[in-house]
Amino acid sequence: ASADEPAVVPAVKLRPEILASPPYRQGRPAAADAFKLSSNENPFPPLDGVIDAVVASGAFNRYPDASALALREVLAARTGVSPENIHVGSGSVALLSQFIAAAAGPGDTVVYPWRSFEAYPGLVTVAGATSVQVPNRADGSHDLHALAAAVDDTTRVVIVCSPNNPTSTTVSAAAFEEFLARVPSDVLVLLDEAYAEFVTDADAVQGLRLTGRYPNLVVLRTFSKAYGLAGLRVGWAIGPVEILDAARAAAIPLSVTQPAQAAALASLEREDELLRRVAELADRRDRLHAELTAQGWFIPAAQGNFVWLATGDATDAANDALLAGGIVARAFPNSGIRVSIGEEESVEKLLPITQRIVDLLP
């Protein structure tokens, strides 16, 4: 064809539900003088020992161990299960995708609370299944009764997120066990505990205490948040072997890289130091929560490394004020703003702004 002939664009048939599905919305980047509190990242840089382990890990001309056995063995020893009961993925979002695809397809439903982690709807759509979103209660917490009531013959997966992104609420251990008793045992329950290490409420569910007791429960954890490895992409799942084997079959092979496996192992070796940082962040969160409450905000008990400002119709105006003040948070139009716990200075910068914007609320 000559240059002035129009290119022939073949009418490729793409899935309409995929075309209609918005791409994942990433937390916005921040200018150099602003604080990036939009992605629930850990403000601490990786420990030197972790970086050294990453550098020492390759032979990058070789493929990684596809099953991440060394990492699974360490996680299994710590949690008192067999390595077969642990599955590692390139972030817990990859694991979510695998478990949803392993259990749900066209004609099936996946039930989850809303608002919750923004990736859930897209992952369900990619699997070809249908989302059933169950509204949270007015305080942003999950309504587990309504969630269990939404399960029917079409349901293959139910997701519970504790602490919930973006409202930072937890479900109690007692309520979660009641919920498990109501969900049929042939429906996969995914407990997404991406922020588990930040939880200080003794009544909150702790998924690792439940493993081995329920044949349909899989708990998801990640190295992205508490361990500060978001950029390397490592998450893990713990649960019954048959369900994990199905996820392994649904996984893209070899996606957990060698440096990522090495960094996760090195982080576990340095867990004391990393968990001290987690405690510092949880402390900072509790102080921020108390200050915001004193300013007149109603904020449900926050248990993740983030707090939820229920700004409703004033969200755009409130977010503009935050941006102007050098705070980049995650705004959900007409709903609220999620602010991650970052550096101490970010809290000092944040509080005078929230003091002003609390007056915008009805």
**How would you label 85-106 residue by residue, b for 16+ Cβ within 10 Å and e otherwise?**
bbbbbbbbbbbbbbbbbbbbee
**How would you label 117-150 residue by residue, b for 16+ Cβ within 10 Å and e otherwise?**
bebbbbbbbebbbbbbbbebeeebbbbbeebbeb
- Give 286: exposed, middle or buried? Use CB within 10 Å, 0-12, 13-18, 19+: middle
- Nearest to ligand PMP by Cβ — which residue? 91
Q: Which is nearer to ligand PMP, 222 or 258 (CB)?
A: 222
Binding status of residue 92 toward ligand PMP by CB under 6 A = yes
CB of 187 to ligand PMP, least distance (A): 20
CB of 25 to ligand PMP, least distance (A): 11
* Distances 245 to 17, 84, 261 between C-alpha atoms, Å: 28, 9, 20
Residues comprising the chain, all counted: 362
CB of 94 to ligand PMP, least distance (A): 7
Q: Which is nearer to ligand PMP, 98 or 346 (CB)?
A: 98
Tell me whether strands 306-309 and 336-340 are parallel, antiparallel or unpaired. Answer: antiparallel
Residues 159-198 that bind ligand PMP (CB under 6 A): 161, 165, 192, 194
Give the Cα separation of 198 and 216 in Å (integer): 25
Q: Which is nearer to ligand PMP, 24 or 60 (CB)?
A: 24
Among 38, 125, 136, 222, interactor with ligand PMP by CB under 6 A: 222
CB 148 within 8 A of CB 171: no
SS3 160: strand
Among 37, 38, 40, 151, interactor with ligand PMP by CB under 6 A: 40
Among 51, 69, 230, 358, interactor with ligand PMP by CB under 6 A: 230
Q: Which is nearer to ligand PMP, 112 or 214 (CB)?
A: 112
Nearest Cα residue to 221 out of 208, 212, 209, 231? 208
SS3 290: helix
- Candidates 87-95, 201-209, 240-248, 325-333 — which segment interacts with ligand PMP by CB under 6 A? 87-95
- Give 321: exposed, middle or buried? Use CB within 10 Å, 0-12, 13-18, 19+: middle
Q: Which is nearer to ligand PMP, 194 or 256 (CB)?
A: 194
Give the Cα separation of 154 and 2 in Å (integer): 54
- Candidates 48-56, 69-77, 91-99, 205-213 — which segment interacts with ligand PMP by CB under 6 A? 91-99
CB of 59 to ligand PMP, least distance (A): 25
CB of 236 to ligand PMP, least distance (A): 9
Tell me how crowded residue 10 is: count the other CB atoms within 10 A of its CB.
5
Among 112, 117, 179, 198, interactor with ligand PMP by CB under 6 A: 117
Among 125, 167, 216, 224, interactor with ligand PMP by CB under 6 A: 224
Residues 240-269 that bind ligand PMP (CB under 6 A): none
Site size toward ligand PMP, by CB under 6 A: 13
Q: Could you list the residues that contact ligand PMP (CB under 6 A)?
A: 40, 91-93, 117, 161, 165, 192, 194, 222, 224, 230, 235
